[in-house]
Structure 1
Amino acid sequence: MTNTPKASVPLLQLALSLEPKSIPALNALGLAFHASHDYAEACRCFEQALGIVPGRVELLRNLAHAQFGRKDWAKAQAVFAQLHVRGEKIQKDWIPHALSLHHLKRNKEAVAVLEQFLAQDPNNAEAWYALGLCVYDVQGASAAIHAYRQCITHNPKKYTAYLNLVAIAHKHSNAQMAANVARDLLKINKNYLPIYGNYGLALASLGKGREAVEAFERLIAGQPANYRCRSNLLFYSQYLEDTTARKLYELHHEWDVRHAEPLRRSWPKHRNDPSPGRRLRIGYVSPDLKFHSCAWFMMDLLAHHDRSAFEIYAYANLERADKVTDQLKANVDVWRDVDTLTETELARQIHQDRIDILIDLAGHTGRNSLITFACKPAPVQATWLGYPGTTGLRAIDYRISDPWLTPDDTPEIFSEQVYNLPRVSHCFRAPEAAEPNALPARAKSFVTFGSFNNFAKVSDTAARLWTAALNRVPTARLLLKSRYIGSAESREAILDRFRRAGADLSRIDFANGNERQDDHLNQYGQIDIALDSFPYGGMTTTCEALWMGVPVVTMLGDRTCARYGNSVLNAVGLGELVATDPEQFGEIAARLAGDLDQLAELRATLRDRMARSPLCDGPGFTRAMEAAYRDMWNRWCQTQSR
């Protein structure tokens, strides 16, 4: 006979049938259920016993732990608090008490509990780990990093502490620390797969895109169902210069086959009223409705929507809201914070809201909701803004773009139907910023090229393009800025690309990118001409440079991410700055650098030109988007009348 807690349940139930009020039998049965992970039944037993002998400490403790196992955080915390007040807590109670508070988002109280416990048991690795979870929201990243390091000191095999430490370090612009901690863990256990996801993100930030992709591939090989890591693989594959259009499509199609298609059989029946001219409900789904580059392209669209024709819903999957969130929320009819919902729960909410057209703003970027879209909660679904290319999902009907991003002859392959607006498919809400300064080259007597794109975008091809510009203008310098510039590994990775390109490294300068937005924009005052990255170009950085009076030279590529500059520059009437081959890229940069009068005029007039261009025409852009929505809706309505 198997001697397991589950096997003892029938015997204990028999004993209770003979003596229903036996406290030892009720307690033993509760413990057996708890050991079998049947926490609901365990709670029932302990509650029944407490009904007979109220306040018995042993039963209260067992009930608290069963409620914790059941994830009934509020009830667990209340019982642990009783034990705490009575001075009856023992060692095993402190951490679940704190974690119950943590799950209730009462982190300040949780930290107090853990600090009191650690004063008694300072070498407890699990307590330091729990403190790392709780202290971040109270005291910030440094305190959390300290807690996780203490945990690792006392238990070097607490792998999740490394994992969280890597995530926090990377989030707070210390990719070098993140990579080093990941390597420390891999020395101990190279087969701990979860670390490869966070390690890959750190490597990408250090400018090591190919190594990042290899890390994601390692994790996916061991966890093929890990759809978030597979999204990371897709996103960072866009940065690789030797990734073909066919390869990118195949990678995205595989994501769809593995993670989205199994949900197709459960698509709901849409009962939306198929009237072509009625008021439509538009839903926007995004994790970036906050101080984020995507927000600058959403503001005017939300502000100018015709509320008589469209009712606007926002589904915000935010880690933390901010002042930009408040600005966006003010222009939305129904705002839903959905960070606590699973993706299928979110799909149910959207379906219950009877959304007519659902817009994905994230693609395969972080905290995306593509599984929600795979559930097809709305009859018409489209992707726009946040991702450069196809999502791969057959559940998404359209990709909103423009002819400069996605021309008819593009080799790029899409699972969605490309819907090109007859104008630029983005609208930039220019930030408040000081007026552009005088041309730096006048004071310095040399031209400064620059790029403020993140280092993940600096490929070998980009290094060759920028080196060609430097070689054509022998007195020029190149300024590169990144928030990860403090890392020696990051700088060396970038400089190695320029070595291979034959650049004079003494002409390359670095600037730290960890400043506030106004300081960031003011740093454009140090450069005369911006050079776009390739094959993943800059969208926000290109717009920011132009707003600060700095012309941008870009090169046309064969996919969306390599055509952002083409779309933006043509929208502001600077199509002549778009190169179609490397030779022309160098020629355009040299021509600009050789005419300081023209550069000075551009610097003085670019902001006004941009403000009057389609790129900053909020009402015009919104009318174009609304016309597209109406057309998409009418097409769906026609399928319903057949």
Structure 2
Amino acid sequence: MPQSIAPSPDDANALIALFQRGPLDAFLARAHAYGAAWPDNAEAQDLLGALYAAIGRFDLAEPALALAARAKQDDAQAQLVHGAALQQLERHESALDALARAAAAAPAGSSLRLEADHLTGLSLHALDRFAEAAEVLERVVAADPQNVRARNNHAISLQALGRADESVDTLRAALAFEPGYVEALSNLATGLEMRGQIAEAEAALRRAAALSPQDASLPEKLGGLLLEAGDLDAAEDVLEQALALDSGRLDALNSLGMVQHRKGNLGRAVACYEVALTQAEGRPELQATLHANRAYALMDAEELEAAIAGLEASLALDGESDFNRAQKINLQMQTGDWRALDEFAAHADRLGLDNAPVSPGSLLAIDDDPARQLARARLYARKWHVRTAPLPTPAPSTDRRIRVGYFSADFHDHATMHLMAGTFRTHDRSRFEITAYSYGTSPGGAVRETLAGQVDRLVDVAGMADAEVAELARGHGLDIAVDLKGYTHQARGGIFAQRAAPVQLSWLGYPGASGAAFLDYLVADAHVVPAEERAHYGERLIVLPGCYQPNDDKRAIAAHAPTRTELGLPDGGFVFCCFNNLYKIGRREFDIWMRLLAQVDGSVLWLLRANPLGETNLRREAGLRGIAPERLVFADWAAPADHLARLSRADLFLDTFAYNAHTTASDALWAGVPLVTRPGRAFAARVAASLLHAVGLPETIAADDVAYEALALELARDRERLAALRAKLAANRHTTALFDTAGHTAALERAYAAVHARRLAGSPPDDIVID
């Protein structure tokens, strides 16, 4: 049929009838023929485009609608539907052009003009032009207040701009017109979550899910919310519901893996990620996330090589992830792979600093710059939804005691409890009511049982959401909440973001600035935070006398110490030791240590065995420096009392630099082994110096790397001087501040009383120096 002749009504009706009754293949064949027969006829192509769009084939609809739009330049409807098709194909720049033509052709205030503006707002949002999108959509809502779709989309753009309050108001207005609008309820949950109103967000999502019980995206989203809030059991339930509705919801499967990881079910977590990876083809962003999350589960399962490989796979897909890069660097340091130091150097000026947070603790052992540490911590702390309600104001306790709550995952056989056992034992319970809130997954054992008898209550909150834990603590009338974890493994900073107490402080677990506005104080001393570095700590400081670190003067040392021969050490040679975690050891320290071995005949370096790869790497590095690999001796894990006993067989403890020995330094000093340190700038790099001042051995604090090496070498060669140091340490253990457990606890209690008094007086937190 000649192209100049339009299709007859019968031709069009036949095509429409086939569209209505199918089958689809027959319709597509007829539609193709129809389009080929009238390729330049605007009416034919307009009809064809509409039918293709109705079955979701926008790739076929767009060329037809484009022809119709070119032929009908002044037809607002033709321009609008062409713009909508381009939008469906995510060709948003072209869509904006078509929609602009539609708006120009439509009468002002008409429904066509409003719809063109509405779709314009959607494309602007898709192009990340959020401010422009919000402005256009606001005009649509002003002209058509009952347009709930426009209100909903306006709220989404407001959320992208961080304007959570306005988005919530906009969505509530939409729901006033249409209470059952499921998408608006889901987006309301997002706005409420942004405001930290987790319970209200959960209620909105549960209402949406009840209205649309077959929509798997709603329990999937709810599961993510509950996971973030720390309510793991509830998160697991709803994520399994989402997967029962649609087993292909890979984001739900990823979140379920994260739940299992947090619950300590590492094998189940890895299985979730691996199943999701088999189905994630074509979604590189999700693949990168799954590889990373699988790596973190493998890391906690101590499969470090596999974990590193997983993070490398993730970074190959998403090389911009600062978080994963920092974690990979940390894992490589745990295996003695010092290529990590070179990678950090290449990214140091932006890693965790350019609006992409990293876990602050992941780089402490590498970067001794307190300004960068604070910046990383502040950026990371933005992740928590902060409770916006006024500070809790607990009524005075009937017995006039100050109520203190300690929060940790480590109330078991852990370094924190080795240090703090004496604190709990010596607290003045007539003046302080002590509650321990435990959220760890490790079994309790004798340490936990002892603790239970030393506190007023020991509460297991492992299965509770952050907001629930904070509410429970407020119900207990806490005056002071103490975060013993900071940014270490299994930390729950969200509890403090929800304000467990009117005064909150960070102590012991994380040696650095929190960057969190909801932590009022950092417990420190004059050595770990010297005056010249004070500006790099956002909290107010509680400056304790002696040392910030507690110690237990009742720590047991086994009666029998193995001989050097039994420990694999030379009977007559000099034994340098460092029982710090492997990730703290870098090239600077190791180069010095190997030079010491080269200059002290028959000497060895005694280290803590961490993992087979780390041992292999360090032995290789020794060989590269001309030191026989067997001169590195690795000690297996031992029970605390046995470890302290064997430590006495060492001659001299050598400290690491950016992240000193902390508990391990106290172990050495309690066991009678002198320690040489070289302080850095940041808190973590100054702890050993603080310990040495507190035990009365400042002479083993070196000013720089050169002095550190010279001092260690002199002590190794001058056995009389070393013996005098050991004798001084033996005497000072019982007469100086470091191991004065009751005195340290009393100073801490004076600090608690001081910050509590300031709060009762209505005074804001301020630095407090305890004499």
- TM-score using structure 1 length: 0.69
Distance (Å, rounded) in 1 between the aligned partners of 2:210 and 2:651: 69
C-alpha contact 1:357 1:633 (8 A) present in aligned 2 = yes
Deviation at 1:419, TM superposition (A): 2.0
Deviation at 1:626, TM superposition (A): 0.7
Distance (Å, rounded) in 1 between the aligned partners of 2:264 and 2:493: 33
Number of residue-to-residue matches in the alignment: 550
* Residue in 2 that maps onto 1:20: none
SS where residue 614 of structure 1 aligns?
coil
Greater radius of gyration (CA): 2
Report the CA distance shift for 1:143/1:188 in structure 2 as closer, same or farther (over 3 A). same
* Residue in 1 that maps onto 2:434: 312
Distance (Å, rounded) in 1 between the aligned partners of 2:479 and 2:256: 44
C-alpha contact 2:370 2:533 (8 A) present in aligned 1 = no
C-alpha contact 2:264 2:441 (8 A) present in aligned 1 = no
Distance (Å, rounded) in 1 between the aligned partners of 2:536 and 2:379: 14
C-alpha contact 2:573 2:602 (8 A) present in aligned 1 = yes
Distance (Å, rounded) in 2 between the aligned partners of 1:138 and 1:585: 44
Distance (Å, rounded) in 2 between the aligned partners of 1:487 and 1:512: 13
Distance (Å, rounded) in 2 between the aligned partners of 1:220 and 1:581: 28
C-alpha contact 2:579 2:607 (8 A) present in aligned 1 = yes
1:568 is aligned with what amino acid? L
* Residue in 2 that maps onto 1:495: 621
Report the CA distance shift for 1:547/1:281 in structure 2 as closer, same or farther (over 3 A). same
Deviation at 1:467, TM superposition (A): 4.0
Bigger relative CO (Cα 8 Å, ≥ 6 apart): 1
Distance (Å, rounded) in 2 between the aligned partners of 1:155 and 1:515: 44
Report the CA distance shift for 1:503/1:364 in structure 2 as closer, same or farther (over 3 A). farther
**1:206 aligned onto 2:335:** yes
C-alpha contact 1:182 1:195 (8 A) present in aligned 2 = yes
**1:179 aligned onto 2:308:** yes
Deviations 1:9-48 (A, max 9, x none): xxxxxxxxxxxxxxxxxxxxxxx999x99876776899xx
Deviations 1:354-396 (A, max 9, x none): 2112222122223333343344442222221112222123333
SS where residue 425 of structure 1 aligns?
coil
Deviation at 1:553, TM superposition (A): 1.1
C-alpha contact 1:280 1:310 (8 A) present in aligned 2 = yes
Given the alignment, which residue of 235, 246, 268 partners 2:371? 246
* Residue in 1 that maps onto 2:744: 621
* Residue in 1 that maps onto 2:477: 354
Report the CA distance shift for 1:489/1:559 in structure 2 as closer, same or farther (over 3 A). same
C-alpha contact 1:436 1:603 (8 A) present in aligned 2 = no
C-alpha contact 1:201 1:212 (8 A) present in aligned 2 = no
Deviation at 1:532, TM superposition (A): 0.5
1:578 is aligned with what amino acid? I
Further displaced range: 176-185 or 561-570 = 176-185
Deviation at 1:254, TM superposition (A): 3.8
**1:529 aligned onto 2:652:** yes
Report the CA distance shift for 1:306/1:597 in structure 2 as closer, same or farther (over 3 A). same
Instruction: Map 1:117-516; keep pairs closer than 5 Å.
Output: 162-184=291-313, 186=315, 199-207=328-336, 208=338, 210=341, 211=343, 230=358, 232=359, 234-241=360-367, 243-255=368-380, 258-259=382-383, 263=386, 266-273=388-395, 278-323=400-445, 324-410=447-533, 413-429=536-552, 430-436=555-561, 444-470=571-597, 472-487=599-614, 490-491=617-618, 495=621, 504=627, 506=629, 508-511=631-634, 513=636
Deviation at 1:490, TM superposition (A): 4.6
Instruction: Map 1:543-622; keep pairs closer than 5 Å.
Output: 543-596=666-719, 599=722, 609-610=732-733, 613-622=736-745
Distance (Å, rounded) in 2 between the aligned partners of 1:411 and 1:181: 39
Unpaired runs of at least 5, structure 2: 1-49, 56-180, 187-204, 224-231, 241-249, 765-771
C-alpha contact 1:447 1:593 (8 A) present in aligned 2 = yes
SS where residue 418 of structure 1 aligns?
strand
C-alpha contact 1:162 1:185 (8 A) present in aligned 2 = yes
Distance (Å, rounded) in 2 between the aligned partners of 1:295 and 1:360: 14
Distance (Å, rounded) in 2 between the aligned partners of 1:271 and 1:279: 15
Report the CA distance shift for 1:518/1:537 in structure 2 as closer, same or farther (over 3 A). same
* Residue in 2 that maps onto 1:89: none
Distance (Å, rounded) in 1 between the aligned partners of 2:182 and 2:528: 60
Unpaired runs of at least 5, structure 1: 5-31, 47-61, 73-98, 108-124
- TM-score using structure 2 length: 0.59
1:524 is aligned with what amino acid? L
Deviations 1:444-499 (A, max 9, x none): 3321212111122113332344345345535423233341243477537x828x96
Distance (Å, rounded) in 1 between the aligned partners of 2:334 and 2:307: 10
C-alpha contact 2:569 2:575 (8 A) present in aligned 1 = no
2:372 is aligned with what amino acid? K
1:534 is aligned with what amino acid? F
> Over the residues paired in the alignment, what is the CA RMSD in angstroms?
5.1
Distance (Å, rounded) in 2 between the aligned partners of 1:638 and 1:130: 45
Deviation at 1:562, TM superposition (A): 1.7
